Amino acid sequence: MGLELSIIGISLLLLFILSGAGADTIVGVYNVKDYAAVGDGQTDNTKAFESTWSAACAVEGTATIVIPEGEYLLGPIIFKGPCKGKMVMQVKGQLLASTHLEAYTQNWIDFQYINGLVISGGGIFHGQGASAWPYNQCPKTQKCKLLPTNLMFSFVTNATISSISSIDSKLFHMQIFQSRDITLDSLKISAPGDSPNTDGIHIADSTNIQVANSVIGTGDDCISIGPGCTNLTIFNVLCGPGHGISIGSLGKNANEKDVTGLTVRQCTLTGTSNGLRIKTWPSSPSSLKATGFVFEDIIMNNVYNPIIIDQNYCPYANCPETDPSLVKIKDIKFRNITGTSASPEAIKLVCSKAVPCEGVELNDISLKCNGDDEQAKNMTSTCVHVYGSSNGNVKPDSCI
């Protein structure tokens, strides 16, 4: 009798552990092929993916969606929460974006209102952007229709996106908006250096976002940070080709929120048109702050503007704004920045006359010109409306 009770007790204990007490309960695997997906690169799988998501999202615990090897043509789709449990998406195959632009209203793949999301698996999100880039008029005029972003994350919390690739997005590769507590790790993002507006990762109005251990080369910013961001970390990112790592542009629209708390560390930029850049619009419709940034242990390889603050930013041919920017830039630290510049003006800090930059620190900067001997002799730094300090060795000679 005692032995039987012991066996029953052990069985109940195992049942208690397996039930996931105090942890997520794994409730099932949802393979898109079980919902009629076909990985032949030609069949439209939008409805099959929608059905898979609906089934997985409706159950409690942890549900895993599996996209096996193959090529899955996919039109615009929204994976929308809230879901009853944590969502895991294992992407093994390649997802191909539809090339029919008339099918899109905004983005290609949109994750919305999800608490608890994991995307991984080594798969590829291919935007097939070459078919759409000729129709992008945004580099020429402000009045333009935006092309679809590959992956959009809106109102998402507690997410990890890792070990996936995004290739040739029609516009941005990834956007994070109104989200928090997201880690992006071991990503590969690529598009040709002349592809328009193909930013690698754009983050706006979000908190506690980390980008790490990734390789990004596009036709625009490798990483761009918009208004309303707090506590961002960028670590061990290889950037190039592209426009560098940028904060901004800021100050273009009314009611923009401050950007506070950014750390960029141990990154390497190669052949980019900018390195570490803060850009704000003149004639800002509202005032905001960009404060508390640390750029540390950065390597530049033939970068055209390694260190740049541009408070007169306007990418268009006609820029009628004449009033100074109202974006206040404060407490910005550049530490241990080394390597080569493609131009003799390696440090360019042009701040606003209305709200000068304050607390700008240049510490241990060693940048050499990649040009001829004459350019190397004439390495310069430029400072306009900048207040701060220089420490350690600063080459070219500091203008602060």
Instruction: Report, as residue numbers or ranges, the catalytic residues.
Output: 220, 243
What is the amino acid identity at position 42? Answer: Q
Closest CA to 273 of 218, 227, 339, 312: 218
Output the CA–CA distances (angstroms, integers) from residue 261 to 14, 316, 336, in the order listed: 46, 30, 19
CA dist 82 to 29, 56, 111, 208, 261, Å?
19, 12, 10, 20, 29
Spatial contact of 350 and 379, defined as CB atoms under 8 Å apart = no
What is the residue-wise DSSP string for 331-348? EEEEEEEEEEESSSEEEE
DSSP letters for 31-42: EGGGGT---EEE
Q: Helix (H, G, I), strand (E, B), or coil: what is residue 369?
A: strand
Measuring CA to CA, how many Å separate 138 from each of 147, 198, 246, 316, 382? 9, 12, 18, 9, 30
